[in-house]
Amino acid sequence: MTDTYAQIDWSASRTADAVAAARRALVAQGMPAQSALAPPAAAPVAVQRSSARIRSFGSTRSVAGKPALYALISVLIIVLGIAGVWKANVAFAPEMYARNGMEPAAKAHAAGKNYAVFDLNLNIRRWKEELVSRLTSTPDVVVLGASHWQEAHAGLVRSERMFNGHVHRDYWEDLLGVVEVYVRNNRLPKRMIIAIRDKQFTPLDMRKDFLWEPGIANYRAMADRLGLPKEAAWKTFPYQRMRERLSLSMLFNNLTRWYNAKQRPRETAELHFDHLDTLLPDGSILWSADHMAIFTPERARRDALSFAEHARGSPPVVDPRGLEAFDALLEFLKKQGVQVVLVHPPFNPIFYDAVKNSAYLEGLDKIRAITNGFAAKYGLHVIGEFDPAKVGCSADQFIDAEHANPACLQKVFDQYDALLPRLKIEAQGKQL
């Protein structure tokens, strides 16, 4: 086949020579000379097309700018929405989320009054911190522990002024953090009753609750005071509390609770309410009539058996760092002249009977051994017992598997009252 493409000599050194060579080659192929290569007159067309492309590009930039603006507006709306949910949760549940949410309660207590709240879903560590900072005098004895002690009012200790320093779901960091509050406010008492519960020394990465998060700052302060290594900041950051404040479902619950409430939180001289729980100046609580109606023997039994079913194969786990920290704390309190009494909170008999011959009960024996070891090292006394039969508590004195009412708790504090004369003699001996 004959090649029909023009053979052009591109070897010319100048552009004009190259163009002439191209024309000659095209003419040789039979193309009219006037049409060989595009005439100069065609150049404005190219310029026009180029201008059109420029105008088109400018128009594209204008259109492209709008999605960027829309994206920016969308981001701002999302940020404002998140901030709105955060602020609304704080506004409608200040006792749980506002930094100063427990100040009204503490101010009421400082004036000798009670404070009514929706329920005990509140920042109880912050409540106690505010309350201790406003104490006008130092109590004779303070009880530290978890919610097992929430109904332990001051009258359960007959011979001394008691303050209830409990916080919900305490762990070993709380042992340090709660004591820090008393040290900082110069309110260390003569004696402290410190409770050791089954999950007291649970390692941080094995916990499934987050109520301990607000107390971390105080724990870190006491750890520094004792010269102890601290938990990593990223492990103790209050992630869960931040998630709750950003939760739409939490906002819905808080809003509906607020607007459907027949009674709302307030300072009061009254003790009992139909729909509100009561915080008392001695650090204890009283249940509302609504809650008392829920706490039936049948419910307590179901809860105890269900709790036992899950607990039987899950013995308490002990973090060695927790033991080291508590050891240092006991040494510190000894140097400060504070007498410490250790106590175990009793369980519901239904629960305790259901976990017999289980790995959980074996773990409970290890917690007893740890407590007795500290008692032997520092010459401390141990009262109470996990086994309710040894305390004298019955199933009808519990609202669930582990929370006793004042009738059962009275038996524990009776042991303290009986021990008190000996404690005073020991204190005098140390002073001499």
Query: Which of 63-67, 70-74, 207-211, 295-299 bottoms out in mean pLDDT, i.e. has the lowest?
Result: 63-67
C-beta contacts of 305-312 below 8 A and 24+ residues apart: 305/350, 305/351, 305/354, 307/351, 307/400, 307/401, 307/402, 308/350, 308/351, 308/354, 308/355, 308/401, 309/354, 311/351, 311/355, 311/358, 311/360, 312/354, 312/355, 312/358, 312/359, 312/360
Let me know if 353 is exposed, middle or buried by CB neighbors in 10 A (0-12, 13-18, 19+).
Answer: middle
Q: How confident is the model at residue 24 (pLDDT cuts 50, 70, 90)?
A: low
Res. 30: pLDDT tops 60: no
Enumerate residues 6+ apart whose C-beta is below 8 A from 63.
none
Q: How confident is the model at residue 235 (pLDDT cuts 50, 70, 90)?
A: confident
Quick one: which H or E segment has residue 131? helix 124-133
pLDDT at 26: 52
pLDDT at 2: 42
Query: Average pLDDT for residues 312-330, to the nearest whole number?
Result: 97
Do 369 and 376 meet the contact criterion of CB atoms below 8 Å apart? no
For residues 224 and 205, give the distance between their C-alpha atoms in angstroms, rounded to a whole number. Answer: 22
Query: Average pLDDT for residues 187-215, to the nearest whole number?
Result: 95
Query: Average pLDDT for residues 282-311, to the nearest whole number?
Result: 98
The SS3 assignment for 112 reads coil
Q: Establish how many alpha carbons lie within 13 A of residue 93's alpha carbon, considering only the half-sphere containing its beta carbon.
A: 23
Res. 1: pLDDT tops 60: no
Closest among 240, 233, 229 to 169, alpha carbons compared: 240
Query: Average pLDDT for residues 332-348, to the nearest whole number?
Result: 98
Q: How confident is the model at residue 408 (pLDDT cuts 50, 70, 90)?
A: very high
pLDDT over 70 percentage in the chain: 84
pLDDT at 175: 97
Q: How confident is the model at residue 366 (pLDDT cuts 50, 70, 90)?
A: very high
pLDDT at 157: 97
The pair of structure tokens assigned to 251 is 């906002």
The pair of structure tokens assigned to 74 is 């969308």
In terms of DSSP bridges, do strands 277-279 and 285-286 run parallel, antiparallel, or are they unpaired? antiparallel
Query: Average pLDDT for residues 184-191, to the nearest whole number?
Result: 98
Query: Average pLDDT for residues 365-384, to the nearest whole number?
Result: 98
Query: Which of 26-35, 89-98, 352-361 bottoms out in mean pLDDT, i.e. has the lowest?
Result: 26-35
Q: How confident is the model at residue 188 (pLDDT cuts 50, 70, 90)?
A: very high
pLDDT over 90 percentage in the chain: 78
Closest among 121, 132, 135, 129 to 99, alpha carbons compared: 129
The SS3 assignment for 285 reads strand
For residues 83 and 246, give the distance between their C-alpha atoms in angstroms, rounded to a whole number. Answer: 8
Res. 72: pLDDT tops 70: yes
For residues 410 and 95, give the distance between their C-alpha atoms in angstroms, rounded to a whole number. Answer: 29
